């Protein structure tokens, strides 16, 4: 099963959740200053993007925070780098 994350491209993961809405709520609770309309579909450095992540990456972020190296798998799902 995968989860969702709000990722500031090139910086850090701000929030995670089982749904996109939950990830946005978590990101805002963690201090990210944006609203859902600002989520970009483009992976432009500094933009907030919605990504799918593995459960393992989600667990790691829950323990260690969102300042973590990630990489996109061939299936489009992000994992720990």
* Three-state SS sequence of 1-28: CEEEEEEECCCEEEEEECCHHHHHHHHH
Query: Could you report how far apart the first and last alpha carbons of the chain are, in Å?
Result: 19
In this prediction the pTM is 0.93
Residue reference for tokens 């990101």 = 27
Q: What integer is the mean pLDDT of 50-58?
A: 97
**What H or E segment, with its residue span, contains residue 64?**
helix 55-64
pLDDT in tens, 11-39: 999 999 999 999 999 999 999 998 889 89
Number of domains forming the structure of the chain: 1
Residue 79 scores a pLDDT above 90? yes
pLDDT at 41: 81
Domain that holds residue 64: 2-80
């Amino acid at each position: 099963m995968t989860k969702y994350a709000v990722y500031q491209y090139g910086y850090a993961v701000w929030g995670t959740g089982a749904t996109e809405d939950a990830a946005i709520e978590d990101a805002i609770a963690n201090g990210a200053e944006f609203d859902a309309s600002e989520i970009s579909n483009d992976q432009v450095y500094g933009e907030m993007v919605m990504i799918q992540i593995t459960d393992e990456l989600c667990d790691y972020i829950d323990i260690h925070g969102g300042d973590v190296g990630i990489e996109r798998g061939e299936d489009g799902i992000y994992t720990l780098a």
